[in-house]
Structure 1
């Protein structure tokens, strides 16, 4: 789902709620927000492992698929000579090197924790390497959560038990910075009883070429607020049988997934069933992981279904395909992940407290009362009434408001005042980024900043030499 730019509408809507003044935030709230911002450890490096058909029935393709967020990569600036020869304005780079070594293993290794697995005395089976470089045009891009470097390593293996060692080197270091060891059992592809499900972000198709599925490459996560494709292997497919795909939201308490709420059901017809396919990872020369859905008379049967994830809440789900006798033929569990979720939304208490800029005290008190579930219900209802796209789960207005909270904290905080308590922070939260910022340096007097909006201006004067500005005129 493409997200439309609602900035103009958001500024108008947010500005219309300014019926109250900002009260003094308690020191404990400030401390909680600072702790929340510093302690945010959402995953930004993803390693997924796929089993695909091999070149023959005697082998399978074992592949590792990666994606690395730019904000975790150690970028360096290109030297002037390299930058001068760059036509695409790339200014920063970060090399990545990965190696995967696979060893013939045994049942005893399968029972061990990953941290206790050793490859001593194991016979090497295969080894593969991958290297690439991430480029960025600006420093801001090197810090973003929304840009990724993608890659994959694949190898042909006979069915069996294997221990693999994956090592990654970031930047120009010679020592592996990330290393993980794991043991897996790989069954013959045709003998699988329950098929695996691969998550795709986008489907490319053309009249003269095979369909290509751009992989999500986020392990068992999908992007919150966006639809995706489920590519599910159906072992022992019977064309005379009927198949149904069901998605249930999983409860965070309890292990009985059959009690989860059913959010999507679709009977699979000819448009969703793809026969005689032998999918394979391909290199396209672009920064994507692509699965080519190649036709093969000796291929396999899959279901390819577009999932309306943009209408689902931010939660965990189980996707299951069953035949007419209710036997499970394909299954996976996945999680909806809001990659750029504002930090101020990670805590319900803080999210409610930050509404003080746009609601009166009576409304704030009402939202703050009750149990955790009651406060969450009231918080969701508050924003649902103001959702510019009510047919989708993603609320652009809410996301924009809390992004402004984060921006104010990150850009206007000083040793004297936390960012969202400052005059500049409050204006930014209420009205968004100004169309123009002009800074003046009077011969005698303090520095002045003028923020211009379509129908108003705000004038701030420096009160110290450390970035503190006070609103002096509107």
Structure 2
């Protein structure tokens, strides 16, 4: 039995008989449902972003990077005649990614008669991925990533990526994205670059790009490399605001984190290099006295909520010179937590009807606040942001749906699903096939035995005994 099961039973005052929970019925969810969220979460993920690093000569090293989850890529079985494959590889996937950069700004308005500019740069990335099992081909925690770069003069550009998968000759193009390369000697604003790690010494500065688009990883700290204007300001102020759900992007809560970049902590560097490696997309640059001006901030994101944030850099005169909105990304987030209404509705298995109505009332922001308070009161590790109990509960709902659903009933509404949600994985499961009688399953827990009986031949079971 999972170690959190006793906590669930004790802290949440779970009902001792599953039938009692079933008798309370199901409150139908209007609009977004668990199933619609599951369909959305089943979509493979890809991330695209770019970085601009201005040099002293007025040009800028411009890199376009990407990350593709394995489940976006079609894999093929390795042939026995393929001598280039690793010995333990069972599947492989050739990946070809092309980059094309155009002059001018891409206009999305259908009324615009102007055409996108001339193509000025093309490059491609190629790699072959090998994995040992079919499960790895469907992974969302494994990925392929890379970067393609060129030097651009100040001006407006747009680009697209073209993905060719497996052995197909057809390419799938991304949406066009605009790039503005500023004139460095008149640069008035700063830039914010997200890194998973950053190292600096007198001879070399290195960093690994986070490379999740406009996302940071929930529960993981990260670095912000601040590209500063070429002025002699003595200090800059960095703030991180959590944005409230259901509000516009201009509404900010109090800062959850502050730091100051002081003159003695800043550095200059040039000779930028961008490269894709097995451990991520890397940035290297050489410190000097005349290059681009930088500062770095370590963000303790492991202590922050899974939410949306605005990063800001201000001068000592309180002028905003850089800002960026990022989303916290929980890669293996339970499906229900993708929507606050569904997440609250799924609490119906462990709370009373009156408590459920209380949690469901109010605006989106109010519901989110009450939801967070509900789980904070039951957090077994309140000194950390991550709530293991909440994650365990909603992971059980996902497991129930995947393993106990039938044509008539979603898994979390079935008797076996409800048992799994309330009590977790049994210590032992015995399936009996008595002659001329329905199939039975016996689930054994410490101090509790549940007996289920098949009602159809399509995976439906009902609880017939609990002792």
What is the CA-CA distance between 1:414 and the residue it aligns to? 0.5
Alignment correspondent of 1:220:
214
Structure 2, gaps ≥5 residues long = none
More displaced 10-residue stretch of structure 1: 58-67 or 456-465: 456-465
| CA distance in structure 2 between the partners assigned to 1:9 and 1:262 by the alignment | 36
Count residues with an aligned counterpart.
458
Corresponding residue SS for 1:225 = coil
| CA distance in structure 2 between the partners assigned to 1:135 and 1:178 by the alignment | 24
Corresponding residue SS for 2:33 = helix
| CA distance in structure 2 between the partners assigned to 1:84 and 1:164 by the alignment | 34
C-alpha contact 1:213 1:292 (8 A) present in aligned 2: yes
Alignment correspondent of 1:71:
71
Q: Give per-residue Cα distances to partners, 1:72-95, cap 9 Å, x unaligned.
A: 3223333455599634x4433333
Alignment correspondent of 1:150:
145
What is the CA-CA distance between 1:118 and the residue it aligns to? 7.6
| CA distance in structure 2 between the partners assigned to 1:204 and 1:446 by the alignment | 65
1:309 pairs with 2:304? no
Structure 2 CA distance for partners of 1:34 and 1:182, relative to 1, 3 Å: closer
What is the CA-CA distance between 1:99 and the residue it aligns to? 1.0
What is the CA-CA distance between 1:223 and the residue it aligns to? 1.6
Written as runs of structure 1 = structure 2, the 5 A alignment for 1:36-185 is 36-40=37-41, 44-54=45-55, 57-79=57-79, 86-87=86-87, 89-103=88-102, 105-106=103-104, 109=105, 113=109, 122-185=117-180
1:202 pairs with 2:197? yes
Written as runs of structure 1 = structure 2, the 5 A alignment for 1:29-40 is 29=29, 32-40=33-41
Corresponding residue SS for 1:381 = helix
Structure 2 CA distance for partners of 1:352 and 1:188, relative to 1, 3 Å: same
| CA distance in structure 1 between the partners assigned to 2:125 and 2:361 by the alignment | 54
| CA distance in structure 2 between the partners assigned to 1:461 and 1:446 by the alignment | 6
1:187 pairs with 2:182? yes
1:469 pairs with 2:461? yes
Alignment correspondent of 2:425:
433
What is the CA-CA distance between 1:231 and the residue it aligns to? 0.8
Corresponding residue SS for 1:22 = helix
| CA distance in structure 2 between the partners assigned to 1:309 and 1:450 by the alignment | 44
What is the CA-CA distance between 1:293 and the residue it aligns to? 4.5
1:18 pairs with 2:10? no
2:242 aligns with one of 246, 249, 252: 249
Q: Give per-residue Cα distances to partners, 1:394-416, cap 9 Å, x unaligned.
A: 32221221121122112211013
Corresponding residue SS for 1:283 = strand
Q: Give per-residue Cα distances to partners, 1:287-339, cap 9 Å, x unaligned.
A: 52222354345432211111122333333322222232233343322222333
RMSD: 3.5
1:291 pairs with 2:283? yes
C-alpha contact 1:115 1:181 (8 A) present in aligned 2: no
Q: Give per-residue Cα distances to partners, 1:264-287, cap 9 Å, x unaligned.
A: 211224785333355432233x15
Structure 2 CA distance for partners of 1:410 and 1:27, relative to 1, 3 Å: farther
C-alpha contact 2:44 2:71 (8 A) present in aligned 1: no
What is the CA-CA distance between 1:197 and the residue it aligns to? 0.8
C-alpha contact 2:217 2:328 (8 A) present in aligned 1: yes
1:264 pairs with 2:264? no
Structure 2 CA distance for partners of 1:472 and 1:90, relative to 1, 3 Å: farther
1:233 aligns with one of 199, 203, 227: 227
Corresponding residue SS for 1:363 = helix
Alignment correspondent of 1:3:
none
Structure 2 CA distance for partners of 1:142 and 1:452, relative to 1, 3 Å: farther
C-alpha contact 2:406 2:459 (8 A) present in aligned 1: yes
More displaced 10-residue stretch of structure 1: 274-283 or 403-412: 274-283
What is the CA-CA distance between 1:97 and the residue it aligns to? 1.3
C-alpha contact 2:205 2:287 (8 A) present in aligned 1: no
Corresponding residue SS for 1:172 = coil
Alignment correspondent of 1:405:
397
What is the CA-CA distance between 1:221 and the residue it aligns to? 1.4
| CA distance in structure 1 between the partners assigned to 2:34 and 2:449 by the alignment | 30
Structure 2 CA distance for partners of 1:32 and 1:244, relative to 1, 3 Å: closer
| CA distance in structure 2 between the partners assigned to 1:256 and 1:337 by the alignment | 21
